[in-house]
Structure formats: C-alpha cells, structure tokens
Amino acid sequence: MSAPVLAIAGLGVEIARQEAAPIAITRDVDLELHAGRTLALVGESGCGKSITALAVMNLLVAPLRVAAGSIDLKEQNIAALPPGSAALRAIRGRRIGMIFQDPMTALDPVYPVGEQIAEGLRLHLNLSRRAALARAVELLHLVGIPDAAERARTYPFQLSGGMRQRVMIAIAIACEPEVLIADEPTTALDVTVQAQILDLLRDLSTRMGMATLLITHDLGVVAENADEVAVMYRGRVVEQARVDALFAAPAHPYTRGLLASLPPVAGKRERLQPIPGQVPPAGADDQGCGFSDRCAFAMPVCRAGVPSLLAVGEGHRVACRLHDTNA
Ligand code: SF4
C-alpha cells in the first residue's frame, strides 16, 4: 500500500485538571488513512472516536488537550500547530474536510447554503464571489441536490435533514481535500436517507481519491462503506483489520459483542445479544484490559497489564490476552 496521507501515532488526549491528575480520554492510538480508502472508527458512545476526529482537526477545546503522539498530514505534524494559527487555518477545510453529525448546528442559519459553500472556496482558493457561487451550484449538483441553482439561494431551515447533510458534504469536499472526516454523518437522518448519504460519501471518496475517516457506532454501516476498520474501546484501539477479515473472524470479545448486537438479517430468526454492562466513565479505574469488567472470557492475567495490539493475520491486530501466546 502507498504511504499514508494521514498517520496518527501514539495519540493521547486528556482532560487537564487544575489540582488533580489529568484524565486520559484516548491512549496510544495509531491509525493510518490512505488515498481513496475509507477507515471506519467504531465503538460505543464515549469510546474516544469523536475526540480522535476533533484532535485531527485540531479542534479540541480546553480542558481537552493532546498529551502525546503525532498527527502527520503527509510530512507535517498538525498536532504541533498552534490553535488559531494561519498554518492550521490553511489546512482545515482545504486539506482536511469534516462532516459533522448534526448539519442543523453546523450550518449557519442566517446565510443561504450556496454562500456557505462559496465561503471556503473564496478563502482557500481565492475564487471571486461570482466564481465561488457558480462552483457552489456545481457542488450542490454533484451531491445530488436537484434544482441546484435555486437551492443555493435557500436557507438551511428550508431544506430537509438529508438535503442539509448533502450541503455539509458539499462544504467538506469543496476544496477537494486530501482527507475527509465524517463523524456519524447519518445519525440524525432516517434509514432510507442514511443509505443514500453513505452511498454518496463512498462514491465521492473513491472518485476524488480522498482518504476518509468514517466514525460510527454501527458495524452495519462499516460492512458496506469502509475498507479498513479500527474498533475503539475506552480510548484505545482494541482491534484493527480489513473489513472483510474483521467480519469473517472477529478476534476481540468486544468486537464479537458489537457484531452479536447487530439487528438480524431479514429472514433469520437470531436474537439480538446486547453487550452486558456499560462503558465506564472516563477516568474510572482501568487496570489491565479496559474491557475486563464486561468480558465473559476475563482471566486474572487480563487485569495485570494493558494488552498490546498483536498480529493475528495479515493487517489484522488485536489487543486481547486470548490471542497472546506469551500470556
Ligand atoms: Fe477479555 Fe481478557 Fe481479552 Fe480483555 S484481555 S478482552 S478481559 S479475554
């Protein structure tokens, strides 16, 4: 595989506290994004997925901060750039685009959507207002909005949820970024629209050669829309593989639990099996494997130290004592 467009190495994010030790939110996260491919980051709420995305965009707000590691966009460590710096502004929206969960809060209610798409084009590509608006109409057409010229003049509240999310996608891809981050891009949408938006994202990522990070809590979404997958639990990556390998042979008990809790395929009568317990809050005691309190296979050795990610197949790594021959 070619060199990664974006390489996250040893990323640790923490909550700084005035008179107490910081609380770790993510630890030792290593991820690589490649051109034209989609990496899905999966896990329950509170596992550190969205925080990882915000760290990549350098959008963490105090008391959150990057405590360790690097985020290299090609050769540039963007985690080291000062917040608000010109270098960072030149990257955000230009070289890295982001699609947020809720377009209604991400879009500005008082500007027509065409103006909002044109803004990034004028800022990053120095297009004139007229040229930027013309390109905004083309982008609305590209993301499947009918009557694009007319819709460019409408305000977000005049559009359906699916249309608003298409506008968000148009904004994110306007400058043809090298990296696209989509954080739960379909959570706020109904099921039929979800599939259309995910198809659109997949198609655009492939056609434009973007390296895409798709954040989701839903492994069903991963199966159809990603090439590689990293499963996060309590701020760590616990399993990483190609999507086909992960679905064929999930190795971590947490991944198996996520798969067992997927709704059954139509026509099959299997029952949903939710994972017992809940993700503990950040800062809760995490001696050893963070999943040990919920794991049916937990052994005394599991609490003795944090399991390392070990290879169990080509490009397939898992952090679990069940697969550690030295345990
Ligand atoms: Fe379960 Fe132990 Fe594996 Fe953790 S290391 S997932 S507790 S078997």
**What is d(CA 22, CA 15) in angstroms, rounded to the nearest whole number?**
5
**What is d(CA 28, CA 317) in angstroms, rounded to the nearest whole number?**
14
Q: Which pairing describes strands 64-73 and 76-77: parallel, antiparallel, or unpaired? A: antiparallel
Q: Which residues, in sequence order, are CB contacts of 76 under 8 Å at separation 6+?
A: 91
pLDDT over 90 (residue 201): yes
Average of per-residue pLDDT across 95-109: 89
Kindly provide the residue ranges of all beta strands, DSSP E only, lying in the chain, ordered along the sequence.
6-15, 23-33, 38-42, 64-73, 76-77, 96-99, 179-183, 211-216, 228-233, 236-242, 310-313, 316-318
Residue 91 CB less than 6 A away from ligand 1 = no
> Best of 232, 254, 291 to mutate for ligand 1, by most ligand atoms within 8 A of CB?
291
Of the pLDDT bands very low, low, confident and very high (cuts 50, 70, 90), residue 268 is low
Q: Which CA distances in Å does 297 have to 247, 254, 315?
A: 20, 11, 24
CA–centroid distance, 310 to ligand 1, in Å, is 13
**What is d(CA 123, CA 21) in angstroms, rounded to the nearest whole number?**
41
Residue 291 CB less than 6 A away from ligand 1 = yes
CA–centroid distance, 31 to ligand 1, in Å, is 22
User: Sign of torsion, CA 193 194 198 204?
Assistant: positive
Q: Which residues, in sequence order, are CB contacts of 285 under 8 Å at separation 6+?
A: none
Nearest atom (ligand 1) to Cα of 324: 5
Nearest atom (ligand 1) to Cα of 323: 3
The pair phi, psi for residue 283, each rounded to 5°, is: 95, -10
CA–centroid distance, 17 to ligand 1, in Å, is 31
Residue 321 CB less than 6 A away from ligand 1 = yes
Are 242 and 40 in contact by the 8 Å Cβ rule? The answer is: no
CA–centroid distance, 218 to ligand 1, in Å, is 22
Nearest atom (ligand 1) to Cα of 253: 6
pLDDT over 60 (residue 255): yes
| pLDDT the model gives residue 267 | 53
Nearest atom (ligand 1) to Cα of 291: 4
What tokens does 168 get? 């968000």
| pLDDT the model gives residue 261 | 84
Residue 297 CB less than 6 A away from ligand 1 = yes
pLDDT over 90 (residue 16): yes
**What is d(CA 101, CA 278) in angstroms, rounded to the nearest whole number?**
23
Average of per-residue pLDDT across 303-312: 94
**What is d(CA 216, CA 45) in angstroms, rounded to the nearest whole number?**
9
> Best of 292, 301, 326 to mutate for ligand 1, by most ligand atoms within 8 A of CB?
292
Are 13 and 26 in contact by the 8 Å Cβ rule? The answer is: yes
CA–centroid distance, 81 to ligand 1, in Å, is 37
Q: How far apart are the first and last CA of the chain?
A: 32
pLDDT over 80 (residue 283): no
What tokens does 213 get? 């990070």
Which of the residue ranges 144-153, 182-191, 309-318 would you say has the lowest mean pLDDT? 182-191
Nearest atom (ligand 1) to Cα of 302: 2
Q: What's the predicted TM-score (pTM) here? A: 0.93
**What is d(CA 103, CA 208) in angstroms, rounded to the nearest whole number?**
22
Nearest atom (ligand 1) to Cα of 289: 4
Residue 255 CB less than 6 A away from ligand 1 = no
Nearest atom (ligand 1) to Cα of 254: 6
Taking all residues of the chain, what is their mean pLDDT, rounded to a whole number?
92
